[in-house]
Chain A
Amino acid sequence: MKRIPALVGATAMSLLLLTGCAVTPTADDSEQPDELGGSITIACGAMEDWCQAMTSAFTAETGVKADFVRLSSGETVARLDAARDAPEFDVWHGGPVDGFGAARDAGLLEAYESPNAAAIPEKYRDPDHYWTGVYVGALGFCSNQRVLDELGVDVPTSWDDLLDPRLKGQVSTAHPSTSGTAFTTLWTQVTRLGGEDEGLEFMKKMHNNVLQYSKSGTAPGQIAGRGEVAVGIVFSHDCVKYQEEGLSDLVVSFPKEGTGYEIGGVALVKGSKNKPAAQAYIDWALTAEAQSIGPTVGSYQVLTNPDAVRDERMVSLDEVKFVDYDFVAAAAAKPELTARFDAEIAAQPKE
């Protein structure tokens, strides 16, 4: 039965390819921004205050009412899939593009080449225009120095440090079925260790040290910040945000073997009821002005528009070692791999 969504996806994809050419001309009809109206709903995969700042700035700019729901990647795909015929959302903004790829494979997104996409470096764009990158984040360790000191453990600088028996029940990460962050963690292991079995093997070893698989990917940073665990695995910018919000025991570190990263995307939902406004939102989200809103609400992802602001709290992508993260392969493997994770690891007893 797991194969049926894939089958449906493949069928929908091929249909989409056929209609793809027909769709583009109609997109050109909406060139007059003053004719925009109505309202759009955003499925937002980033921090709640980021979502709020983005949607209200867009409304202020265009007059189009923009609502959002903060959802983790898995939930977004699930809800888009559930309401395939009458989508609840017009745009998906924020969250790792692995999830966007999975949605695209399931025929839930519509290709849209924004005129503003040219400004974004090519490596941050989907070659088929299903999504465009708006920010980049590096996966890191978000540790609580006080708890580490109490346990007598050093700040982790390697994935294998997380397997330390002294960290039993002291590692927090999210559930890859619901969280894009956690899926990035999982795929990083697959890439780093050279195969799905090897990647799952590592996650299985780490399972003994994991306290709880949370629903949302940013939660482990908070859990570590409050001292419930020693180490949370999150995107480093989320950790910085929590530090600034007062969880001052937090320290950021990166694994020396190489870490994964996310491209946070923006995409048009297939069947959007207000396509001109949705496209205008995407155009706007790619501008330097829109992207520069992030740091004002404590979100320090590296921005994809070269003209957007830089902030010293953003991670320097040159100083962190990355694995060779293949977003297309990750998206294709996602449904099968998360199901395996759930069956083979999440529900298993600990040793």
Chain B
Amino acid sequence: MTTDIPTMRRSGWSLLRRRETPLDLPTRIAVALVVLVLGLLIVLPLINILSSAASADGLKVFASMFTSGVNLQIVQNTVVLGVLVGVIGTAIGFLFAYVQVRLDFRGKKLLHLLALLPIVSPPFAVATAVITLFGRSGIVSHELLGLSPTLYGLPGLTIVLSLSFFPAAYMNMLGLLRSLDPSLDEAAASIGASKWRIFRTVTLPMLVPGFASSFLLLFVEAIADLANPLVIGGDFTVLSSRAYIAITGEYNVGAGAAYSIVLLLPALAVFLVQRYWAGRKNVVSVTGKPAGRPDTVTFLPARILLLTGVGLIALLIVTIYATVVLGGFVKILGINNAFDLSHYRYVLSGIGSDAMITTTTLALIATPIAGVLGLVVAWLIVRKLRSGQGALDFLGMLGLAVPGTVLGIGYALTFNSPLGFGNVALLPALAGGGAVFGGAVAIVMVYVIRSSPSGQRAGVASLQQIDMAIDEASASLGASGMTTFRKVTLPLIRPALLAGLTYAFARSMTTLSPIIFITTPQTKIMTSQILSEVDAGRFGNAFAYCTILIVIVMSVIGLLNLFVRDSSVPRGAAGLSSSTTLE
């Protein structure tokens, strides 16, 4: 799905160039406002982190990055982890997508939902369950098989991150496989090619851009992750966990900023490559919309092989989430399996319930803001701007391209003290315990900037499918730009809006890396509470938290779907599925 956007966008933009009416005032105000908001939410924190990294402490880290063996090792570890997760996660994602599109079997729908489960779950659910199941004294590894594998470090991180991030690759490949034109397969078959040969010489080459973009997406997600390296990193230090120790342990912000800048550069590069280069090498759109249904795999050995592979991974995912749910209801899973409600009592009383209410409230505040912001940006890009669309698009997407750790440090640097020029304070401190609303504003801001890109993507994609003539008809009847947007465009893009909103909410509820640097005593956030439970080894409490978090996210998504239900939305297309590719 991601890959066919640029083509549409080009045609959309060239269409715009023919319009020569000047920008109306509301549009100009909207552009100014959006740029101001994005500047505050993302540009300013980035500038601050850059200048902090340029401090003496930071420069020392930069200098040692290629001279000190320790730092070289950290960089190397980060790259190795990113590559492994990119390859394995893409492979799993492709396998799931291929089976989904090209195989007929019962339980397809279930498999689809299963593949999306990791998106709605908090970052440590998988890590803690994997240790409980496959650790040195794990239920499966030790009790059943008598093994004591060491998961801490690269092996554990690879498994956990691949399982956590593969849904992004899955959605990407799913969209791509669905849009492949089956007539190409038929043509190859008609000149006598075997199915395997068709797969190898026709299907695979067309999927190369999809593989590339999935790999890059997962690479960035993996190197940016902070939660898992803290929990099961072992002695395998990566840039994000090094930056975290520098800031929280040594209070060396300059060094922390420097480590995270090293993280920022590849992430930005990959983002640019993925959006503006890989996207253009598009073989799919040449043939336009697919005609007919793709051929299904019927060759029995291939079916068995594919289904077994997917089945095993699906079983693994089911086992992991069963462990999470079960683990909250027993004393200590794997050691003392007596039924016990004390974890839920602990989590539901006192700070636990505070965290739940605060997190849900803040995410619910942020979600519509993010949705509107993303949509307005998309609307400006597709419909209003005649120049600078690319720049605005990039600015809007920056919140997703910047690794969470970098964003969090940037926010702590920028918003912990009042903002202003010289002695004139323009804004009070927004982050930290001494800030207004106990620092909640900064957390909402992080949620917004992390989530609005998905609204923007969804908005751009759907706006491009709506004919410009509809807008022009509205304008010719005397409606202003605002009225047209409100009365004509908005109803048409409601499904995309919904998709953006649901995704934004799920993302906000489960994010940790940027939040951990700006939580305050007054605003307790569930993911950071889970981290402290996991770090102190109280897995039962962590499992209970994770289960509740998953339930909250799913309920809110369900409610959103009910509220903004639209008969034009195809079954299953609403909600997460249509926007997860934007990861």
Footprint of B on A, CB under 8 Å?
A: 1, 5, 41, 47-49, 52, 56, 67-70, 74-75, 77-79, 81-83, 85-89, 147, 150, 169, 175, 177-178, 210-216, 218-219, 221-223, 225-229, 245-249, 335, 338-339, 342-343, 346-350
Determine whether the beta carbon of A175 is less than 8 Å from that of B249: yes
Q: How many residues of B contact A (CB 8 A)?
A: 58
Determine whether the beta carbon of A342 is less than 8 Å from that of B532: no
Give Cα A163–Cα B520 distance, bound, in whole angstroms. 40
| B131: contacting residue among A177, A215, A228, CB under 8 A | A228
Whether a CB of chain A sits under 8 angstroms from the CB of B196 is: no
Determine whether the beta carbon of A86 is less than 8 Å from that of B429: yes
Label chain A's interface by main secondary structure: mixed
Shortest C-beta distance, B61 to chain A (Å), equals 11
Determine whether the beta carbon of A211 is less than 8 Å from that of B537: no
| B331: contacting residue among A79, A210, A227, A246, CB under 8 A | A246
Segment of B229-237, B286-294, B384-392, B396-404 engaged in the interface with chain A: B229-237
Using a CB-CB cutoff of 8 Å, which residues 418-459 of chain B contact chain A?
429, 432-435
0/1 interface trace, chain B 218-252, chain A, CB 8 Å (1 if under): 00000000000010111101000010010111111
Determine whether the beta carbon of A338 is less than 8 Å from that of B250: yes
Provide the residues of chain B in CB contact with A338, threshold 8 Å.
Answer: 249-250
Determine whether the beta carbon of A219 is less than 8 Å from that of B332: no
Name, among A75, A86, A221, A248, the residue most crowded by chain B CB atoms within 10 Å (CB to CB): A86
Provide the residues of chain B in CB contact with A213, threshold 8 Å.
Answer: 235
Shortest C-beta distance, B428 to chain A (Å), equals 10
Provide the residues of chain B in CB contact with A347, threshold 8 Å.
Answer: 70, 73-74, 237, 242
Determine whether the beta carbon of B536 is less than 8 Å from that of A223: no
Known: A219-B536, A225-B537, A338-B249. 7 other contacts (CB 8 A): A88-B432, A214-B535, A215-B230, A246-B336, A247-B335, A343-B70, A347-B237
Provide the residues of chain A in CB contact with B57, threshold 8 Å.
Answer: 1
Give Cα A338–Cα B520 distance, bound, in whole angstroms. 26
Provide the residues of chain B in CB contact with A41, threshold 8 Å.
Answer: 433, 521-522
Determine whether the beta carbon of A223 is less than 8 Å from that of B537: yes
Provide the residues of chain A in CB contact with B417, threshold 8 Å.
Answer: 85
| B137: contacting residue among A70, A227, A339, CB under 8 A | A227
Q: How many residue-residue contacts, CB under 8 A, span A and B?
A: 151
Once A1-B57, A41-B433 are accepted as A-B contacts, the answer to whether A74 and B331 lie under 8 Å apart by CB is no
| A89: contacting residue among B131, B251, B433, CB under 8 A | B433
Shortest C-beta distance, A17 to chain B (Å), equals 24
Give Cα A228–Cα B334 distance, bound, in whole angstroms. 12
Show 8 A/B contacts (Cβ-Cβ < 8 Å), sorted by A.
Answer: A48-B538, A82-B253, A88-B433, A88-B520, A219-B536, A222-B537, A226-B137, A338-B249
Provide the residues of chain B in CB contact with A335, threshold 8 Å.
Answer: 250
Shortest C-beta distance, A288 to chain B (Å), equals 25
Whether a CB of chain A sits under 8 angstroms from the CB of B192 is: no
Once A219-B537, A347-B237 are accepted as A-B contacts, the answer to whether A5 and B251 lie under 8 Å apart by CB is yes
Give Cα A1–Cα B253 distance, bound, in whole angstroms. 11
Once A86-B429, A227-B136 are accepted as A-B contacts, the answer to whether A74 and B249 lie under 8 Å apart by CB is yes
Determine whether the beta carbon of A228 is less than 8 Å from that of B429: no
Determine whether the beta carbon of B416 is less than 8 Å from that of A227: no
0/1 interface trace, chain B 48-65, chain A, CB 8 Å (1 if under): 000000011100100000
Provide the residues of chain A in CB contact with B332, threshold 8 Å.
Answer: 226, 245-247
Give Cα A210–Cα B236 distance, bound, in whole angstroms. 12
| A69: contacting residue among B232, B429, B521, CB under 8 A | B521
Determine whether the beta carbon of B416 is less than 8 Å from that of A82: yes
Once A338-B250, A342-B250 are accepted as A-B contacts, the answer to whether A212 and B233 lie under 8 Å apart by CB is yes
Whether a CB of chain A sits under 8 angstroms from the CB of B275 is: no
Using a CB-CB cutoff of 8 Å, which residues 133-152 of chain B contact chain A?
135-137, 142, 148, 150, 152
Give Cα A68–Cα B247 distance, bound, in whole angstroms. 21
Shortest C-beta distance, A243 to chain B (Å), equals 12
Determine whether the beta carbon of A178 is less than 8 Å from that of B56: no
Whether a CB of chain A sits under 8 angstroms from the CB of B350 is: yes
Footprint of A on B, CB under 8 Å?
A: 55-57, 60, 70, 73-74, 131-132, 135-137, 142, 148, 150, 152, 230, 232-235, 237, 242, 245, 247-254, 331-332, 334-336, 346, 350-351, 412, 416-417, 429, 432-435, 520-522, 524, 532, 535-539
Determine whether the beta carbon of B235 is less than 8 Å from that of A48: no
| B150: contacting residue among A56, A82, A178, A211, CB under 8 A | A211
Shortest C-beta distance, B361 to chain A (Å), equals 17
Shortest C-beta distance, A150 to chain B (Å), equals 8
Once A87-B434, A88-B432 are accepted as A-B contacts, the answer to whether A70 and B248 lie under 8 Å apart by CB is no
**Closest Cβ neighbor of B439 among chain A residues:** A88
**Closest Cβ neighbor of B68 among chain A residues:** A343
Determine whether the beta carbon of A75 is less than 8 Å from that of B249: yes
Shortest C-beta distance, B517 to chain A (Å), equals 10
| A82: contacting residue among B55, B251, B535, CB under 8 A | B251
**Closest Cβ neighbor of A273 among chain B residues:** B434
| A211: contacting residue among B73, B142, B234, B245, CB under 8 A | B234
Provide the residues of chain A in CB contact with B234, threshold 8 Å.
Answer: 211-212
Determine whether the beta carbon of B350 is less than 8 Å from that of A52: yes
Give Cα A87–Cα B520 distance, bound, in whole angstroms. 11
Determine whether the beta carbon of A48 is less than 8 Å from that of B429: no
| B535: contacting residue among A81, A210, A215, A339, CB under 8 A | A215
Give Cα A335–Cα B250 distance, bound, in whole angstroms. 8
**Closest Cβ neighbor of B351 among chain A residues:** A52
Determine whether the beta carbon of A86 is less than 8 Å from that of B434: yes
Provide the residues of chain A in CB contact with B235, threshold 8 Å.
Answer: 210-213, 346, 350
**Closest Cβ neighbor of B131 among chain A residues:** A228
Shortest C-beta distance, B522 to chain A (Å), equals 7
Determine whether the beta carbon of B245 is less than 8 Å from that of A178: yes
Provide the residues of chain B in CB contact with A78, threshold 8 Å.
Answer: 247-251
Determine whether the beta carbon of A212 is less than 8 Å from that of B56: no
| A219: contacting residue among B70, B135, B535, CB under 8 A | B535
Determine whether the beta carbon of A82 is less than 8 Å from that of B521: no
Determine whether the beta carbon of A1 is less than 8 Å from that of B521: no
Give Cα A177–Cα B135 distance, bound, in whole angstroms. 27
Provide the residues of chain B in CB contact with A74, threshold 8 Å.
Answer: 248-250
Provide the residues of chain B in CB contact with A247, threshold 8 Å.
Answer: 332, 335
Provide the residues of chain B in CB contact with A221, threshold 8 Å.
Answer: 537
Give Cα A333–Cα B60 distance, bound, in whole angstroms. 22
Give Cα A85–Cα B332 distance, bound, in whole angstroms. 43
Provide the residues of chain A in CB contact with B539, threshold 8 Å.
Answer: 226
Name, among B152, B250, B252, the residue most crowded by chain A CB atoms within 10 Å (CB to CB): B250
Provide the residues of chain A in CB contact with B55, threshold 8 Å.
Answer: 1
Give Cα A335–Cα B251 distance, bound, in whole angstroms. 10
Once A82-B412, A221-B537 are accepted as A-B contacts, the answer to whether A211 and B135 lie under 8 Å apart by CB is no
Shortest C-beta distance, B227 to chain A (Å), equals 12
